[in-house]
Amino acid sequence: MLIFLVIIGSYVHASSNVQAGYVDKYITKTYFEKHGSLIDPEFNKFIANEVPLTLCKLLEDGNSVLPTLSNLYRSVIGEGSHRRLSSSIILKFQPDLQIKLIARSCGVIIIERLPSGVFADPFELQHLVQRSVFSDAAVFGDTNLELPSFRSNRSVVEIHMSIGSKMFSRHHDELEINLEVPLHARYPPLGLDFSRVEFGHPDLFMCCSLEVNGFKRSCAYFPTNNISDYKASSLIWEVPCGIREHAGVVSAVTYCFALVSALLIMVTSVCYTDTKGSSKSKSL
């Protein structure tokens, strides 16, 4: 009964926030409170219909207008099964909007819908938060780090970054956002040369506080799939797969070593017991 009341309370809290026109701390958390797994069409509907996008009313007064997304560059850097998803995002805005963005404690939220086959370590992300690389970060969805790719579901990484003076470029009309999300490859299925992991477009939000030192925020959404400067080719990470024949050899060798180790332990125990018993008989 208590669990039921807690669940109902969370739904009421989320719905009241939507009706009030501001978002919770994590946008993705609200989605997973209603859906068990990540489904792209459902997530798109969630952004379009359930996330209050009212920031334009807060900032667009007088001659000020919201920033526009002008450029996005992404790449996968690193080697082996541990890589970093690098993103460089440029927003263009009017110079007089810079003061408002800082005064309203505005920040950007980048949501990465990770494809099947990779995951982000929540503890590693929290370490980056402690180092002030991100202002906040969380992982939602399948957070079981040990599952292989064929048994795991997709997960979502939500990154928060505060807008400070260092983000503004020297051109005074651009906001440059650079981030690297550490990722790890899950165990791919055997029998293939490579497992292709294809990354989609990130979801980008800008959120500002509705009141001074308050937690109520209003957001704006910037679609990233219609940028003319965005690279046409897909972002691919080819994860090497194990060879089935090699897996059989490794399993056999591991079994033999385990069996020999168990026999050595048994022989050592028996010899130690016999030696201890004979020493006691001699002392008597």
What's at 60, amino acid-wise? Answer: E
Q: Tell me the pLDDT of the chain (284 aa) as tens digits.
A: 444 333 334 444 444 444 445 567 889 999 999 888 999 999 999 998 888 777 666 665 555 567 888 888 899 998 888 999 999 988 887 777 777 777 777 889 999 999 988 999 999 999 999 999 999 999 999 988 888 887 888 999 999 998 876 666 666 678 888 999 999 998 877 666 778 889 988 999 988 876 655 567 788 888 887 665 555 457 888 887 755 555 566 667 787 888 888 888 888 887 877 665 565 555 55
Spell 85-114 as b/e; 16+ CB within 10 A means b. bebebbbebeeebbebbeebbbbbbbbbbb
**DSSP H or E run through 19:** helix 2-20
Specify burial of residue 251 (Cβ count, 10 A radius: 0-12, 13-18, 19+). exposed
What residues have CB less than 8 Å from 86, skipping those under 6 apart? 74, 75, 76, 77, 178, 179, 180
pLDDT tens digits, residue range 54-76?
Answer: 766 666 555 556 788 888 889 99
* Token couple for 68: 């526009």
- pTM, two decimals, is 0.75
Distances in Å between the Cα of 43 and the Cα atoms of 129, 168, 217, 258 are 26, 31, 20, 47
Cβ-based neighbour number of residue 214 at 10 Å: 10
Distances in Å between the Cα of 253 and the Cα atoms of 46, 142, 243, 248 are 51, 33, 15, 9
